[in-house]
Amino acid sequence: MRQFIEAELRDAYGRLLWWKEGVAKHFGQREMQALDEIAAQSNIGPLSRLSMEDAEKLDINHFRNIVEGNWRSVFGPKLHDRETALDYIKEVTKARNHWAHPGHGDPAAADVFRVLDSCARLTKLFDSEANRRIIELRDYGSPPITAPAIQKIDKDRVERAAEIKKAVENVLSNYGRFARDDWNTTYMHFAPTSWDAIVPKVGSQRSGRILWFMFENRHRGGSLRLYLEICPGSQSVREKIFDAAKTSGDFRPPKNLSDKWCRIYRRDLLGPAEYHQDDIGAVELRIKNEFRSFVRSDLPKLDLVISGIPF
């Protein structure tokens, strides 16, 4: 993937600027100093020297920041789904860092398969040869992972997604101030009931809502995220919400308002490690604590901005 990242950045920014614009600006001073140390240990040279070896200073721990920071202008057209691609990179990075240190023992076959499967899904988008080799490792590794084992992994993922959905429902049921909207295992929508008297119901959804929160439950990448999303509907109302979000530091809107769905806030509730934790009770407790923190800290700020929009 390092070669892919370097090639895309060189194409986008040119031979002289790819490192500065595509890499350096997306890391803090400490991270860049750490890369300097890596370079020194490897006799590569200082970062100020824009050479072909610059890419060798990068490893998988840097990929997510680079891809995320250059998504719109560089990687989006190739990787397509931003959240899925970042989830795969995060999962593989965590596994690599865990298995690279002694003392953990041999990884379970199911864990190896899951990571290789994520690698295969990611490389399918940009490197057919690497994808072929990874699939061979995934499907014909030693010991071989049989079809029943693969089916069990898929079944476990689906079952975990259902458990996460139930945990979210349990947590949300403790708050009478929210009303559920469209609801399924992957996308669970809800909104503060107070917003029904503030935000015009001019959306294309059955409820008429044009602004709602959404739990996104991704069992393949292993993540649970909370978004605030502008729905399709009245363009003038959508623009007012988007403009208000852009002027507030409490939202995370994209550069432009998309034609249909537009996510303007995000909070990560579960990463791959927490998502796949064996004890579902502990997972639900984490969701409960993260959501309570959202209600106490973030929601009042978001609510203040939404309540102040002159619809």
Q: What's the gap between Cα 79 and its chain centre?
A: 13
Residues 120-130 have a mean pLDDT of 84
Per-residue pLDDT at 148 = 62
Q: What are phi and psi of 224, to 5 degrees?
A: -130, 120
Q: CA-to-CA distance for 53 and 257, rounded, in angstroms?
A: 39
Per-residue pLDDT at 45 = 43
**Could you report the per-residue pLDDT of 218-273, keeping only the tens digit for each?**
887 678 999 999 999 999 999 999 999 999 989 988 888 988 889 999 999 998 77
Q: What is the pTM of this model?
A: 0.60
Tell me the CA distances in angstroms from 257 to 142, 175, 240, one per residue in order: 49, 31, 11
Average pLDDT of the chain, as a whole number: 84
Least confident of 100-104, 131-135, 232-236: 100-104
More confidently predicted of 169 and 148: 169
**Could you report the per-residue pLDDT of 53-92, keeping only the tens digit for each?**
555 667 788 899 999 999 988 998 888 888 888 988 998 8
Tell me the CA distances in angstroms from 149 to 108, 139, 143, 274, one per residue in order: 12, 11, 12, 23
Collect all residues with Cβ–Cβ distance below 8 Å to 168 and sequence separation of at least 6: 188, 215, 217, 224, 287
Please give the share of the chain, as a percent, with pLDDT higher than 90.
41
Per-residue pLDDT at 278 = 87
Please state the domain extents for the chain. Answer: 1-79, 81-145, 159-307
Which top CATH class is 159-307? alpha beta
User: In the chain, at which residue ranges do the beta strands (DSSP E only) sit?
Assistant: 178-183, 187-192, 211-218, 223-230, 262-270
**Could you report the per-residue pLDDT of 171-216, keeping only the tens digit for each?**
999 999 999 999 999 899 999 999 999 999 999 889 999 999 999 9
Q: CA-to-CA distance for 234 and 232, rounded, in angstroms?
A: 7
